[in-house]
Amino acid sequence: MILKLKFIIFFVLCFPFILSAQIPQLVRINPQHHFQRTVPKGNYSGLTWLGGNRYAVVSDKTAQSGFFLFRIEIDSVSGDIKEVVNEGFQSSGEANKDEEGIAFFPKDSTLLISREADNRIFEYGMNGKLTGRELAIPSVFSTATPAYSFEALTYNAQTHRFWTTSESTLKTDGQQANATNQVKNRLRFQSFDDSFAPQEQYAYLMDAVENNPSASNYAMGVPAMTALDDGKLLVLEREFLVTSSKIGSFVENKIYCVDPAQSISISQEKELDTDSPYMQKTLIAAWKTSLGLLRQNLANYEGMCLGPRLADRSQVIVLCADSQDQYGGVLRDCFVQLLFDEPHSV
């Protein structure tokens, strides 16, 4: 199991209402911030916007299943993070099942949380208690490996769709990428409607990685997705390498945009291969964090969600990463912003 070094990180992706053939375009990545006095060290692995300045945040290491409530103040003009406060934990009273992703369901004012340990996605009330409902997961996902099961989870109220995927390739679909095999992970993007029933499924092909024989721990996968109002998806591809000495460790992050409406759906009955109809993807952001003698900004990004629009109608996208309880005294729960400008045609 790879060493998980996670932060809370915030990005602002700014783009007006997007036409069907357009995508957002990166302007800049703002510096990281951290709020040590108001955000206790933790294992924050996913987040979702509740409206206003309120967010629900999930952790994969809390003793009990549930979620935190965060207050995040964002400057309405610049998009800069002004303040972040952890306002407490809502517990279900049951054991944590390696909970990685979270999505707000405004229709019923509930939250859905993806659980990597048992490969299920359950519904929670705002009091933290389980409602007894869960997404009906297609049987093909039962072949997910425990460390690479459901992490990404998102919902959009305009399209009435939940989306999730396994973090890495399912056993039935081929080999998983590692530090030396240069394999491209083959993923299945699965949607669900408001009744929690499975709907469309699409094939997604990740980038290949370079040969990295120096890795002592390694992970390559999709830990987060964000569903946009026009039906498109933002997809976070994350490569995480830890060296034996820790110095030289890095995280390579890429955000791609895909459009299910312009893609061919697939069947869970057919294995993915080189001829599968993979979604066309467009790179909209890429950045790298690392751990060195003089530079220590390593961050393992895992959560991503829509936030508010700014005064100029730019759209805020918020990302979080997990510091593993501020591992080794080096990592901190930080915040940063990415800015995006007018969309351009694909």
Q: What is the CATH classification number for the domain harbouring 203?
A: 2.115.10
**Length of the chain in residues, anyone?**
346
Domain span at residue 104? Answer: 22-345
Q: What is the total count of domains within the chain? A: 1
**Do the domain assignments include residue 2?**
no
**Do the domain assignments include residue 286?**
yes
**Do the domain assignments include residue 29?**
yes
**Do the domain assignments include residue 3?**
no
**Do the domain assignments include residue 13?**
no
Q: By C-alpha distance, which of 278, 291, 200 is closest to 241?
A: 291
**Do the domain assignments include residue 67?**
yes
Helices (H) and strands (E) in the chain, counts: 0, 22
The tens place of each residue's pLDDT in the chain, 346 residues long, gives 344 333 444 555 544 444 345 777 776 666 666 677 787 667 888 999 999 999 999 998 889 999 999 999 988 888 777 888 999 999 999 999 989 999 999 999 999 999 999 999 999 999 999 999 999 999 999 999 988 999 999 999 999 999 999 999 999 999 999 999 999 999 999 999 999 999 999 999 999 988 888 888 899 999 999 999 999 999 999 999 988 888 998 989 999 999 999 999 999 999 999 999 999 999 999 988 888 988 878 888 899 998 888 888 777 888 887 655 555 554 454 554 455 554 555 5
**Do the domain assignments include residue 5?**
no
Residue listed under structure tokens 């045609």: 345
Q: Is 218 within 8 Å of 241 (Cβ atoms)?
A: yes
Structure tokens at 295: 């530079």
**Do the domain assignments include residue 223?**
yes
The pTM of this model reads 0.91
Instruction: Give the single-character DSSP code of 263.
Output: S
In whole angstroms, give the CA distance from residue 153 to residue 161.
Answer: 11
